Amino acid sequence: MGGIPRLPDSPAPGTSEPASHPPQPTLTHESALTLLGDSCVDVNLKPYAHWSAVPIHVWNYTLGGYQVRKKWLSYRELTPEPASPLLHRPLKAEEAASFAQVVRRIAATLLFGPALDQSYQSILPTATAPPTPPPES
């Protein structure tokens, strides 16, 4: 019979069962300090913008080998040389707000890290490998 394939032991269509989730780790003040770092930096883009108390692990967060926030700001620094790759204009208010929003998002990502790791580890035993192609005849 056709239809949507079901995983073994999954509820029948139209029915539901309570989900069983592994217990989530508790985020304490100490664990937050470990995840975000025990110091902060103030970031100045004079004279246009200033952000206080950016957690050090957020400021040092890298993606693809680049320090995300520092790299983003480096392209928004006002310089007198039009031949350089910089914007050559003051930072816009919405860009300053975007910087602060991304700082908060990186902080949240760092704080959720242990719970995401635990969730991943809990589903790993039931994860399936990609389908194998049929043998050639």
CA 13 to CA 1: how far, in whole Å?
Answer: 14
Q: In whole angstroms, how large is the CA radius of gyration of the chain?
A: 23
CA 126 to CA 29: how far, in whole Å?
Answer: 33
Average pLDDT over residues 103-119: 92
Q: Copy the structure tokens of residue 30.
A: 């100490």
Instruction: Give the pLDDT of residue 80.
Output: 66
CA 72 to chain centre: 16
8 A C-beta contact, residue 69 and residue 60: no
Q: How confident is the model at residue 1 (pLDDT cuts 50, 70, 90)?
A: very low
Average pLDDT, the chain: 80
Q: How confident is the model at residue 10 (pLDDT cuts 50, 70, 90)?
A: low
CA 16 to CA 130: how far, in whole Å?
Answer: 27
Q: How many residues comprise the chain? A: 137
The closest of 36, 33, 27, 28 to 107, measured between CA atoms, is 36
**Rounded to a whole number, what is the distance in angstroms from the first to the last CA of the chain?**
28
